[in-house]
Structure 1
Amino acid sequence: MITMMRVDHRLIHGQVVLSWLTQYDSDAILIASDSVPADDFRKQTLKLAKPASTKLVIKTVDDAIAAITGGRTDSYRLFILTESVADACRIAEACPQIAHINLGGTRPATDAERLTATVSVTSDERTRLNALADRGLRVEARAVPSDRPIVIEGTR
């Protein structure tokens, strides 16, 4: 079961470990990134940052989609982390199992709409997120579970 997908360019850090994993009682983290699997230093750092009781899997975005749609993640309470809105949208568009996207931290961009202090989206990203919301996904921006969510309603 997929508990949630979060976009956070920092990937695993205190908010993820202390707040979100606990909130959703997740027992596994899937990092979906096209750059992390090829970076041994980042992989080691992420392995050290995860809770000892939590399984960590690091895959490319295409391999993550294949694992999710192929049922290989079904036995876990899976928390998915991506570094970008584009990667989260790719996964959500391909995986009907995704019901919730949390935008927690994006890299600043000059041509982006600011949703919160830590989340900005480009017009292309906003269009894709609106389409996902129209499909029934809960799409929100918030740093921690106790924050008030900024919900992306879609276009309907």
Structure 2
Amino acid sequence: MIELLRVDHRLIHGQTGVFWTAHLHADCILICSDRLLQDPVRLSAVKLSKPMGVKLVIKNVADSIRVINSGVTDKYKLFIITEDNEYAFALMRGCGIKSCNLGSMMPTKERTHMLNEAFAASDDELASIRKMVDEGYELYLQKLPTTAKVDVREKL
């Protein structure tokens, strides 16, 4: 069962690997990323960051959708993490996931709109977020499980 889908540019780190995983009682983390699979150094670092006692699966977007829809992941308390809004939105549309935690996205030259202290978006990403909201998906900002959810519509 999918416990949470989170967008976080850092993928596995203290907040996701410790706080979120424990809060969700997740026994499997699925990293959904086309980019990560093309970066052997970063891929190795992510694998080393896996919390003890938790299964780690790393798939591209198409394979993630296929695996989730096949039912193979149903036996797990699944925590899905991706570093890209569009990957998350593809999962939502492709797998019937209705909500997504917008956790952390670092500001860049293009990502100049700060939706909160941890999540930046570009003009194109804001348009995509608006489209998902208009289609009826729940998108919310939440850094930690102990902080309140903020509906992204309040920040658009």
Normalising by structure 1, report the TM-score: 0.86
Range with greater deviation from structure 2 (103-112 or 68-77)? 103-112
After superposing on structure 2, the runs of 4+ consecutive aligned residues of structure 1 that deviate more than 4 Å are none
Q: Deviations over 1:4-39 (max 9, x none)?
A: 011011100000022111111111000000022233
Superposed counterparts of 1:12-91, under 5 Å: 12-91=12-91
Aligned residue for 1:144, secondary structure, equals: coil
Give secondary structure in 2 for the equivalent of 1:6.
strand
Instruction: Kindly provide the amino acid, as one letter, of the partner of residue 7 in structure 1.
Output: V
Q: 1:84-103: per-residue Cα shift (whole Å, max 9, x none)? A: 1111111111111x233111
* Higher helix proportion (structure 1 or 2): 2
RMSD of Structure 2 on Structure 1 (CA): 1.9
Give the Å deviation of 1:51. Answer: 1.2
- How far the C-alpha of 1:2 sits from its partner, in A, is 0.3
Identity, in percent, stands at 37
Partner of 1:92: 92
Q: Which blocks of at least 5 consecutive residues in structure 2 are unaligned?
A: none
Corresponding residue for 2:11?
11
1:110 Cα deviation from its structure 2 partner: 4.2
Long gaps (5+) in structure 1: none
Query: Given the two structures, how large is their TM-score scaled by the length of structure 2?
Result: 0.86
Aligned 8 A contact 1:33 1:82 in 2? yes
1:134–1:153: 8 Å Cα contact kept in structure 2? no
Structure 2 CA distance for partners of 1:39 and 1:124, relative to 1, 3 Å: closer
User: Which deviates more, 30-39 or 123-132?
Assistant: 123-132
